[in-house]
Chain A
Amino acid sequence: MKINMPDNKGHFGIFGGRYVAETLMPALIELEEAYRRAARDRSFQKEFRSYLKDYAGRETPLYFAANLTEKFGGARIYLKREDLNHTGAHKINNTLGQALLARRMGKKRVIAETGAGQHGVATATVAALFGMECEVFMGAEDIRRQEPNVFRMKMLGADVTPVTSGTATLKDAMNEAMRQWVARVRDTFYVIGTTAGPHPYPQMVRDFQSVIGREARRQILKKEGRLPDFLVACVGGGSNAMGLFYPFRNDPETAMVGVEAGGKGIATGLHAASISAGQVGVLHGNKTYLLQDKHGQVKDAHSISAGLDYPGVGPEHSFFHAQGRAQYVSVTDDEALAAFMLLTTSEGIMPAMESAHAIAYAAKLAPTLSRDKIIVICLSGRGDKDMGIVAEKMEVKLP
């Protein structure tokens, strides 16, 4: 059976949808129509591709990690190098797409939520590029943890608005961005950074990020003459994972593994593993797996990686999980940190702490597979931004 989702109301099976207040519905319908037109419009696609190539620096390499393969002693490891994109992560693929769409729709102001600051930086970047006003909502707690990215956004001309409501992290930043969007819905385009939120965002973000999987599929066919046995990617909201997975969805020989943040361990309750340890609920406009208590109140997520620190997950991942099309696992903070060191020392590539989760799971998977198997890992971002956290964990004081 071929998977072609969502349906025309944005549902992926029982997941997804548009659970928002009426004030936003007209804006979502307008966005959906504008996106549908753009998706069919060759000139839009051409423009998007040209920015991906000449501005973001695509295509990104599919790198055979010989040292890592040797270390794991099993399957052949390929890294899809999204860390080599402009701004250092896959996030730019999506913000370029949405900013081009915003420009088409005549919106001169964009807003975004951000956790680690990567999506905020990617949004501020395209706002600078296209001469748009930009406001980024960021939890006060995250602002403290991610100082350098806050400064980057400000230099790019964005206003960074601290969010102190709730727990002052990513979910609250998203709440606040939605509130601000409601208040200025007529002139503002909300650039959501992941495959979550109300329809059409999960579909639109997936489509913009699918360039990752399309390239990887072409590249692996060229290098190995066949499709990979496994795709492995980290999942917070799930945009890099869906970007990699989606073009392979109808290739039954390729298994997909989404790696959630296990934090201090699932048993401790301090994690961000929505699919592995959550229940179905409704948050931020879509139905999906959530970390929540038995009364439907959303719980805080915990992860060493601010980019995975989200209590929900994109609805299409929930759907892939329910269908059994992809498998979802988790690794702990400590495992991710060890994987960060492993990739840094063995390949000279410093991964983002988010991407280190994918490496950590591959470290468990690869040794169980024979040497003729192939694993493609999405290296979603580079790790420079995580120096503070790594130093803190290693008890090293940075100047």
Chain B
Amino acid sequence: MSRIEKKFRELKAKGEKALILYLTAGDPDLETTEKLILTLDRAGVDILEIGVPFSDPTADGPVIQEAAQRSLRKGTTLTAILKMIARVRKVTSIPIVLFTYYNPIFVYGNERFAGQAKKAGVDGVLVVDLPPEEADELRTFTDPQGIDFITLTAPTTDDRRLEKIVRTSSGFIYYISVTGVTGTKEPEAEAAARDLRRIRKATDLPVAVGFGISTAAQVRKFAALADGVVIGSAFVKWISLHCQEQDFLKQAAAYARELKEATVL
């Protein structure tokens, strides 16, 4: 059983939902990212999505675009991110999902990536621009390594397509709660609830909701509907505002704990 699967089972037994935080690796620098991962783990975050910065992030809003640019200016690479994950993996068992666009992986080499990601302790990959139609070229290598392949569904995904997507997913389903890029619109609970019912009908996999959720109140609202809630842009923005402060890690732990409480129903 993968770490991700195990985590969702444990949470279910406790009557909790998963708090999933996204952060862009290397923003403000990889050393801080490393410390943040350990801090967030201790603060009770359930799953981490580690963003690999890409020069042309077409599915992201301004906040994550800028974080990616800052990270790239620091010279962050996929190689360095995998090394950093290998280090934290020695001291934490928090499930880690690499959240990325396809080109950095493709250029790194799909087979090499699968091997190195497994070795580093990556549990799942979410490749934003790799829909099921194109995913085989990577999954040929990541599936045999037991790396979960997390797929996206959107409000625009119809039932027929949904069937096809969930059939090929593992780990969990990531439901994009808004028709838009990350962190720009607030999702509507009613529409999300309708879509989540459709997804539940199609699969037994856990479903996480993200793209536009930013506050503890929203986490509470969507945690009631799904198995997990993803906070991305809001957290990335929070990091950029506070990362220079003395007690940054302490504040980050408090930030995470407040959100985590909202997932305990």
Interface set of A (CB-CB < 8 Å, partner B): 9, 17-23, 25-27, 29, 165-166, 171-172, 175, 178-179, 182-186, 279-285, 287, 290, 292, 294-298
Contacts and interface: CB of A to CB of B under 8 A. Distances in A.
B32 interface: no
Contacts of A26: 154, 156-158, 161
A285 B58 CA distance: 10
Given A21-B128, A183-B181, A282 B55 contact: no
B156 A17 contact: no
Interface of B: 54-62, 65, 69, 72, 77-79, 101-108, 128-131, 133-134, 151-158, 161, 165, 176, 179-181, 184-185
Nearest to B185: A183
Contacts of B72: 297
B195 to A, nearest CB: 12
Contact of A21 (B69, B77, B108, B152): B152
Chain A binding surface, main DSSP class: mixed
Contact of A295 (B107, B128, B134, B181): B107
B102 A19 contact: yes
B58 A284 contact: yes
A20 B102 CA distance: 10
A284 B105 CA distance: 16
B54 A297 contact: yes
Given A175-B58, A183-B179, A22 B107 contact: no
A22 B157 contact: yes
Nearest to A25: B131
A18 B131 contact: yes
Given A22-B151, A285-B129, A295 B61 contact: no
B158 A298 contact: no
B5 to A, nearest CB: 22
Contacts of B107: 279, 281, 292, 294-296
B78 A23 contact: no
A27 B156 contact: yes
B129 A19 contact: yes
B179 A186 contact: yes
B131 A20 contact: yes
A21 B129 contact: yes
B69 A183 contact: no
Given A179-B181, A182-B179, A21 B58 contact: yes
Contact of A175 (B56, B131, B184): B56
